[in-house]
Amino acid sequence: MPVLWLVLIILAVSTVGFFLGRARALSSAGGDSRNLHSLPSYYGTNVAFSVLVPSLLVVALWSLFQPTLIGNAVESLIPQETIAEGASLDLVMSDVRRVADGLGVAIKQGVISAEQVANDRIDLTDLRSRLGEVGVALGAEIQPAVLTAANAYRAKTATGNLIMTSIVLLLVVTGFALSYGKTDKDYRARNVVEKGILVLLMASASIAILTTIGIVLSMVFETKNFFGLHSWTDFFFGSTWAPNFRGDSELSILPLLWGTLYISLVALIVAVPVGLFAAIYLAEYASRSVRSFAKPLLEILAGIPTIVYGLFALITFGPFLLKIFGDGGALGVDWMSDARAVATAGIVMGVMLIPFVSSLSDDIINSVPQSMRDGSYGLGATKSETIKQVVLPAALPGIVGAILLAASRAIGETMIVVMGAGAIARLSVNPLDALTTITTRIVSQLTGDGDFSSPETLVAFALGLSLFVLTLGLNILALYIVRKYREQYE
């Protein structure tokens, strides 16, 4: 049975269980809800949760782990001599999965009969063309071992789906029977439901934490593999970034780190003053009508895709700067040789970050108690003095958080940098030179046909871990500042 139909059955049974459980509780109380321990909806929710939660959990876990387990079992059917030189078993297994999925679609559409596939009574070249008809494109000819493994993969998947369906339906019936049988006017349904919701909330929090831990551990292990192949002193203290997939690469993070920090600094120089001044105006000076018009208009900038900003930097703003600072430009100087530069990407990125700073700062400034303003006015302070000496210091923790959010967004930005700053890794202080960042290099090192186990590819994980440590340090610094000033002004 397809997973979608199984999920629909679970949802249908849980919905029916809700109404039946609610009706049974009311019936046991003689139709008077005042005789129930809990509200009627709790009894229905208890039955629905008893059906829904365990069955969906099994479906999710089974669907997550079944492909890996079946893939490991099928790998033994692939002879070593069928793996082409320069290829890997993982690439062959990806073909096996594509062929298996394509066979299922082709059989369902009637392009191939199940008997032909099961008995291997089909020409492999003809099979490749027929799979292409159903949208399964293969780069090479299908090997007999691949077809055998694909048939085994399909058979094991079908068996696994059958077992999963049986277990899930058993859980649905058992959960419904047990919870429905316990439904009575004296049953503490509210306590059970609230404990169940607490467990779900804890599980959700655990998933978020475990996901973060998994991401960090994956980067740590791959970074360890990288440093086993490449010198850590060259990575941290070298001054040249020159990857060469044929070997003998110079992979230093310093030029990339410098480009990341330099472009982010230019972006913050643009975004923080403009965003903060806009927030002060909207919160303290603007009338209600102006605020209701200006703030949504300002926040539209946050909804523009970054690729649009990148195109603006590449097509419009970069050439504009080149006409001013380039050879034959308005100033008559030759300071800029290409439209892609630190200033191009930094200024455009700063414009993108303005709504992050202004919107959050505006909300924080508005949350400062009016009594603090009134007290300042009562002591004879002017409006501007009140803003400078009372409102802004009290709102400083939130403003620091807004700036931190903008800095994190700037450090992790990719598209604007790729299209506006270029791809040259070097140490330069000239804002009109082209530079690159850590994020753009991560993308470039993980794309292409390079060997995944080579240092030129594994360096992407070392760069990612370094970027993670950098943003973590910014968070710790901001947390320190927020706590220090919060204690002072609360």
Report the DSSP beta bridge partners of residue 242. Answer: 250
Cβ atoms 282, 366 nearer than 8 A? no
In this prediction, residue 117 has a pLDDT band, given cuts at 50, 70 and 90, of: low
Is the model's pLDDT at 488 over the cut of 60? no
Q: What is the pLDDT of residues 426-455, one digit of tens each?
A: 888 888 888 888 888 888 887 765 566 778
Rounded mean pLDDT of 65-81? 73
Q: Supply the pLDDT for residue 118.
A: 58
Mention every residue, 6+ apart, whose C-beta is less than 8 A from residue 392: 280, 365, 399
Domain ranges of the chain: 3-187, 241-489
Kindly state the tokens that stand for 322. 């080149």
The predicted-structure confidence for 370-414, as pLDDT tens digits, reads as follows: 888 888 888 888 888 898 888 888 888 888 888 888 888 888 888
Give percent above pLDDT 90 in the chain. Answer: 8
C-alpha distances in angstroms, 251 versus 112, 254, 405? 51, 9, 29
Are 310 and 303 within 8 A, CB to CB?
Answer: no
pLDDT at 130: 61
Taking 60 as the threshold, does the pLDDT of residue 84 lie above it?
Answer: no
Evaluate whether 158 touches 10 at the Cβ level (below 8 Å).
Answer: no
Radius of gyration of the chain (CA): 31
> For the chain, what is the largest distance between any 2 Cα atoms, rounded to a whole number of angstroms?
96
pLDDT of residue 299: 78
Q: Residue 123 pLDDT more than 70? A: no
Task: Give tens-digit pLDDT for 153-181.
Answer: 777 888 888 888 899 999 999 999 988 88
Distance of CA 211 to the CA centre of its chain: 11
**Range 74-92 average pLDDT:** 61
Q: Are 251 and 243 in contact (CB under 8 A)?
A: yes
- In the predicted structure, residue 329 carries a pLDDT above the cut 90: no
Q: Is the pLDDT of residue 269 over 90?
A: yes
In which residue are the tokens 């594994």 written?
458
β-bridge partners, 250: 242
Handedness of CA 389, 395, 400, 405 (dihedral sign): negative
- The arithmetic mean of pLDDT across residues 279-286, rounded, is 88
Its sign, for the CA torsion 173, 14, 16, 8, is negative
pTM of the shown model: 0.70
Between 131 and 445, where is the model more confident? Answer: 445
Percent of the chain with pLDDT over 70: 80
Quick one: tokens of 475?
Answer: 């968070």
- Cα–Cα distance for residue pair 406/352, rounded to 1 Å: 9
Q: Dihedral (C-alpha) 141, 142, 145, 150: value to the nearest 10 degrees?
A: 150
CA distance 245 to 249: 7
How high is the pLDDT of residue 328? 64
Give the pLDDT score at 91: 63
Contact in structure between 112 and 103 (CB atoms under 8 Å): yes
Lowest mean pLDDT among 39-53, 66-80, 333-347: 66-80
CATH architecture of the domain with residue range 241-489: Orthogonal Bundle (1.10)
